[in-house]
Chain A
Amino acid sequence: MGKGQTIVTGEAYTGLEDAFEKRPGLWSPSGKRRGLLYNLKSNRSLLFLAMPGLLVILVFSYLPLPGLLIAFKDFRYDVGFWGSPWAGLRNFKFLIMQDAWRIIRNTVGYNLIFIALTMVTAVIIALMLYELSHKLLLKYLQTAFFLPYFLSWVVVGFTLFAFLNGQYGIVNNLLKASGLSPEQWYYQSKFWPIILPLVYLWKNIGYYSVIFYAALLSIEPDYYEAAAIDGASKLQMTRRISLPLLMPIISILVLLQVGRIFNADFGLFYNVPRDIGILYPVTDVIDTYVYRSLRAVGNISMASAAGLLQSVVGLLTVSLSNYAVRLRNPDNALY
């Protein structure tokens, strides 16, 4: 990869452009400047290929964008967008309310914990997997780790319920059997800041550890050979070779997650705590709060304001982070 080329814009193979005589330059051989029509025409084949995908993105990701304005309106479902009166910043009032601080703290706090915990654990596991060479063992381990990833949060929620259920739960049964007193896991909030990150880790460890493991595999063994010849220890090899070469992929993943730091995984926070009110102070996040207010009160205005906030803050955060990362090392930047 050339210097200064980021993940999104960087291009892999160079020097072969000349093989393409049809490359549409800006100037035709006769000196005339090529216009839009020419470009559209000569690229139409590839444009057709890209069209379906572009159309889907246009409809589902770009068309809703003007809807951001709903956050500034007093939206009435019956009169639709144009009929609803403007409301200025009134919809954002909820930010100053007591609840807001709590749900923002939960959302961002949990996301930070999730990111840190998952990345670190996944890298460690990937490094461990890398030390193994037994094919069958590797296959078994990867399959096992990946299993939770392919469950829906609904299923995960009930699986956890099977364990933490106050009456029947496996954990409580084990506690009772060993003479310890059982706990009402679902009715005490102190457990959940630990339970939720562990559940998130459980579900996602397979996905991230396999990505990092694949990345490790793509590192030239020569590096390790040379290091071994120079008498490096395993730890040094890990610190000096594996980790730096993993940085780009770690960096993309972290940046992408940072871009969604104001968005919570709704599936997790809705299904796993079983929507139990007592736990709200530690399990309620922006998305569940908004969902409940939508369901109960139909408060579209606040929901839109929250959505706008999430998107804007996310964009700001990822832009700042990306900028910071790019200053340090462009290879690690997203764009």
Chain B
Amino acid sequence: MVHQAALPYRVIIVAVLLALSLICIIPLLAVVSISLTDEGEIVRSGYHLIPVKFDLAAYRYVLGSPDQILRSYLVTITVTILGTILSVLIMGLLAFALSRKDFYYRKHLTIFVFFTMLFNGGLIPWYILIARYLHGKDHLWVLILPYLVSPWYVLILRTFFWQMVSSELIESGKIDGATDLRIFLRIIAPIAKPALATIALFVAFMYWNDWWLGMLFIETPRLMPLQYMLQRIMSSIQFLTTQLTTNAVSIDLSKLPNESARMAMCVLAAGPMLFVFPFFQRYFVKGLTVGAIKG
């Protein structure tokens, strides 16, 4: 950084950015804090940023009957791991093939892949195809397959391969008698680690946070992914409490860890990914730099 702005400007910049970063973090802290607050206190004085009265009751309640939660955790973890590995592999190979100058069908297939970014059949045909013709309902694979290939990430990976992979590299591999697959796995993949790691993280998050596929195609609790289960429990708690309030049934709401339980569920649903993500953060800039920019 040869030419930095003068010190006073830099101080202002740092101050502004720090303030903005706090705006990003504080809401999450609030959720964690509410989840740790005694329910009675919440009913009395509402939510606060710092727990007024610390209590683990919400977590005890939520984890007390853990079967469904553990089940959903298992489903989501499985889907995320399987989905991410498969997706990165498949997209990586596709992007690699598309990046090769000696691939005759390069142009045709590029158009084939990227046209889908601009135009698609819409929700209904897609839903009917999966639910009816592919018999996807209540099947673990329905949570994985639809998201396997994302043209945007393929584009990023392809640009990455263009810029980082020289033809001499591939040539030397071929001279040694390696197949294209081997060249990819042994030679290219190690070089492409930043980009692949970045894409892997984004894909993992896509799978972890998905509730759309769950909502559309899963009905048995056995296969419910985490976010969808979260949403259902939330809406049923909301439904219950609204009914109780409007029907003037006198239940001591402070005994039912309603509000804090909801926040506890949020923490449980979002927590793991938030932990994982900072570890991958170092790959981001490198992976996105080369990947998303033209020549």
Contacts and interface: CB of A to CB of B under 8 A. Distances in A.
Interface of A: 1, 7-13, 16-17, 19-20, 22-24, 39, 42-43, 45-50, 52-54, 56-57, 59-68, 70, 80-81, 125, 128-129, 131-133, 137, 139-155, 158-160, 162-163, 165, 167-170, 172-173, 202, 205-206, 210-211, 213-215, 217-218, 221, 224-225, 228, 234, 237, 248-249, 256, 259, 266-267, 271, 287, 290, 300, 303-304, 306-308, 310-312, 314-315, 318-319, 331, 335
B49 interface: yes
27 contacts: A13-B101, A16-B167, A20-B102, A46-B180, A50-B97, A52-B90, A64-B121, A66-B125, A67-B128, A80-B132, A131-B5, A131-B9, A133-B1, A150-B205, A154-B231, A165-B47, A173-B46, A205-B24, A206-B24, A228-B3, A249-B292, A267-B212, A290-B123, A303-B124, A304-B122, A304-B124, A311-B122
Contacts of B212: 266-267
B121 A65 contact: yes
A9 B110 contact: yes
A68 B28 contact: no
Main secondary structure of the interface of A (DSSP, over half): helix
Contacts of B208: 152
Interface size class of B (residues with CB under 8 A): 35 or more
Main secondary structure of the interface of B (DSSP, over half): helix
Nearest to A23: B102
Nearest to B288: A214
Contacts of A319: 118
Given A214-B285, A315-B118, A45 B94 contact: no
B122 A310 contact: yes
Given A49-B184, A60-B130, A147-B277, 17 more contacts: A13-B167, A20-B167, A49-B96, A53-B149, A54-B113, A65-B125, A128-B16, A129-B17, A139-B281, A152-B208, A155-B227, A214-B292, A224-B2, A224-B3, A304-B124, A307-B124, A310-B122
